[in-house]
Amino acid sequence: MEKNQTMEVKEPLAAARFIKVIGRGKDGARSLSQDDAALLYDAMLAGRVSDLEMGAILLALRIKGESVDEIAGFLAAAEASTTLLTAPAASAYAPVVIPSYNGARKKANLTPLLALLLARKGVPVLVHGVLQDAGRVTTAEIFTALDHPLAQSVAQAETQMAQHQPAFMAIDVLSPAMQRILAMRRVLGVRSSTHTLVKILQPFTDPALRLSSYTHPEYLLMLQHYFSLVAPRARGDAFLMRGTEGETVANTARAQQIDWYHEGECTTLVHTHQSASGELPDTPQQLDAASTAHWIRQVMAGEIPVPPNIADQVDHCAAVAATIRARCRGDGGTDR
């Protein structure tokens, strides 16, 4: 549903009481409760926090590190402020959500290939991320080079998924309020909690499968705790893996461990391969969007084999997405 654009503007939030809790340095700071975190982040998204207070909050959290309760509260506020999508009712699969906020820096970004292969199986796929990132090749740029239109609205994204096409929504379209906070990186010079939140956002009314990745070990521990103990089970399942340059697509040379979080349990679907085995698959030799798009077209046409690790990831995603959909139908008997 579309948000009401004439909603009453709320009063500014005095954030000092929150800053006093989180702003006492790495050793002296405490964490917010989940309810306070949701209240604070809701105000941040709504523009009810001054720029001075916003800078203090973002830097305090950067120094302290976010607790699981804070991430849960922030995410609840983020999803409440986001216009949620509805998956195709006739699909046998739950939607798969692929965040893409890193792009390619050293090796080609194959996130679009993952999305296209899933969509070809009939899985509803939503990719969301940034349009551009200095020094990197983004998924949006590769989709554009593939002549695949970027969704400019929820309705367009839902239509693309119903037509068995992957939908890409820029975070500017999916959640302008979150994009505004992301953009503060250019002012502050460092990433903020919102960079973590967009990678675990679940923007569907329906249960979905989220693909999530981490780079730093401390985020692995936090995400393991969140997905196993805190994440609402009604929102669906999650895959967690070490990112390929930050992206949630399997490394073509060395498979990363993929853990499936479902119903409070964790199942390891893929174990880490410490070294490449056998002949390495053909991969794009250039990182630019045009070269990557040309190579992806060849794979989709069957001229180049799908890299085995990505093929395995596609199979795991499709199998779990079907399981989630069947679970949803079995619990209530109605499709949403």
Cβ(74)–Cβ(31) below 8 Å:
no
**What average pLDDT score do residues 154-171 get?**
97
Q: Where in the chain do CATH 3.40.1030.10 domains reside?
A: 96-332
Using DSSP's 3-state secondary structure scheme, residue 193 falls into helix
Answer yes or no: is pLDDT of 289 > 70: yes
Q: Which of 213, 198, 200, 208 is nearest to 85 (CA)?
A: 208
Domain with CATH 1.20.970.10 in the chain: 16-81
Residue 279, pLDDT score: 62
**Average pLDDT for the chain:** 91
Q: Is the pTM of this model over 0.95?
A: no
- When pLDDT is averaged across residues 218-222 and rounded to a whole number, the result is 88
- Reply yes or no on whether the pLDDT at 291 is more than 90: yes
Long-range own/partner contacts, residues 173-180 (CB < 8 A, 24 or more apart): 174/82, 174/83, 174/128, 174/203, 175/78, 175/81, 175/82, 175/83, 175/201, 175/203, 177/45, 177/46, 177/47, 177/81, 178/45, 178/78, 178/82, 180/47
128 within 8 A of 198, measured Cβ to Cβ: yes
User: In this structure, are residues 75 and 197 in contact, taking their beta carbons and an 8 Å threshold?
Assistant: yes
CATH code for 96-332? 3.40.1030.10
- The pLDDT value recorded for residue 280 is 67
Amino acid at 25: G
pLDDT band with cut points at 50, 70 and 90 for residue 5: very low
The per-residue pLDDT for 315 is 97
The one-character DSSP state at 137 is B
Could you tell me the fold of the domain covering 16-81?
A: 1.20.970
Q: Is the pLDDT assigned to residue 1 strictly greater than 50?
A: no
pLDDT at 130: 95
The two structure tokens encoding residue 136: 């990197």
For the residues 45-58, what does the mean pLDDT come to? 95
- Residue 71 pLDDT exceeds 50: yes
> What pLDDT is recorded for position 39?
97
Question: Is the Cβ–Cβ distance between 94 and 234 less than 8 Å?
Answer: no
Statement: residue 334 has pLDDT above 80: no
Encoding tokens for residue 108?
């080609």
